[in-house]
Amino acid sequence: MILRRPILSLLTAIAFTLMLGPVVILLGVAFTAGSTLAFPPQGLSLRWFAAALEYRPFIDAFATSLTVALASTVLALALGIPAALALQRGTLPGRRTVEALFFTPIIVPELVLGLALFQQVMVGLHITALGTLVIGHTVLLLPYAVRVVGASLALADPRLEEAARGLGAGPVRTFFTVTLPVMRPGIISATILAFITSLNNVPLSLLLTGPGVATLPVEMLNYVQSSFDPVVAAVSVILLVLSVAVAFATERLAGFTKVFGR
């Protein structure tokens, strides 16, 4: 196969190198026994993982990131699921326009969105930095919830719900017995995508942090501005392991085929 398609094989190898190369370098730097960000590693050691777990600003920032990610994901789903239902099953006038408005947070640069939220919410309404972060991340995640859940509804046959109502099921029973199972893969997908997006966000979070309130990516960015040791690489590996754990749990509990479709 390699001899038959050398160009395709070369491009595949380049793609794998570009995707996995930085991860290999990151692992080497995180497990190094040296004192600087250097590759190849100068011996192997777990000292930087211990240092990362003992560094209090990282621990506090990780707690803030988890709080913001969980709260904003729940709020985005709470707003996005009814919006997706209204757009896919309702008869809204100007449906295309309304749908386009839900996607504007993706189109608008996050720095512009963050500056607007900082001026209007944090400064204008005097809401705390943590509250503004939750609001900002909810706005950022809402399009993902509407789009992914809406895609599940768009692929489902609406005649299933009509059949349930025709057999005597009320709107509430139809929702829980027919509509919700249809949306479940989209809801799981939107939850994972929203949570990971919020947890790793930098541009929006950078403008909405305040004294004593910073997300982990922002705290890591602040750290590398003054320090050059591999602590940040160790934290990155920990986040990578958490992401793999989420993917593994999703596969075990639901299966990627059911969550993301064929």
For residues 259 and 13, which has the higher predicted lDDT (pLDDT)? 13
DSSP β-bridge partners for residue 80: none
What are the structural domains of the chain?
A: 66-213 (1.10.3720.10)
Does position 255 have pLDDT exceeding 60, yes or no? no
- For residues 51 and 231, the answer to whether their CB atoms sit within 8 Å is yes
Q: Which tokens in the block code for residue 122?
A: 């944090």
DSSP 72-106: HHHHHHHHHHHHHHHHHHS--TTHHHHHHHHTHHH
pLDDT, tens only, 150-174: 887 777 777 777 677 777 777 777 7
Q: Is 150 left (phi over 0), alpha (psi -120 to 50) or beta?
A: alpha
Mean pLDDT confidence for 181-194: 83
Does position 138 have pLDDT exceeding 90, yes or no? yes
- For residues 134 and 71, the answer to whether their CB atoms sit within 8 Å is yes
Q: What is the pLDDT of residue 69?
A: 92
Of 65, 88, 72, the closest CA to residue 193 belongs to 72
For residues 1 and 46, which has the higher predicted lDDT (pLDDT)? 46
- For residues 137 and 69, the answer to whether their CB atoms sit within 8 Å is yes
To the nearest whole percent, how much of the chain has pLDDT over 70?
91
For residues 6 and 148, which has the higher predicted lDDT (pLDDT)? 148
What distances in angstroms separate CA 119 from CA 116, 132, 167, 243, one per listed residue?
5, 11, 53, 33
Task: Give the SS3 label for residue 126.
Answer: coil
DSSP 5-45: -HHHHHHHHHHHHHHHHHHHHHHHHHTBSSSSS-SS-SSB-
Poorest-confidence range of 45-49, 62-66, 117-121, 168-172? 168-172
Task: Give the SS3 label for residue 125.
Answer: coil
Q: What is the pLDDT of residue 135?
A: 92
Confidence band, pLDDT 50/70/90 cuts, at residue 31: confident
Does position 259 have pLDDT exceeding 60, yes or no? no
Mean predicted lDDT score pLDDT of the chain: 81
pLDDT, tens only, 103-129: 777 777 888 888 888 888 888 888 888
Q: Which of 132-146, 172-186, 210-224 has the highest mean predicted lDDT (pLDDT)?
A: 132-146
Task: Give the SS3 label for residue 109.
Answer: coil
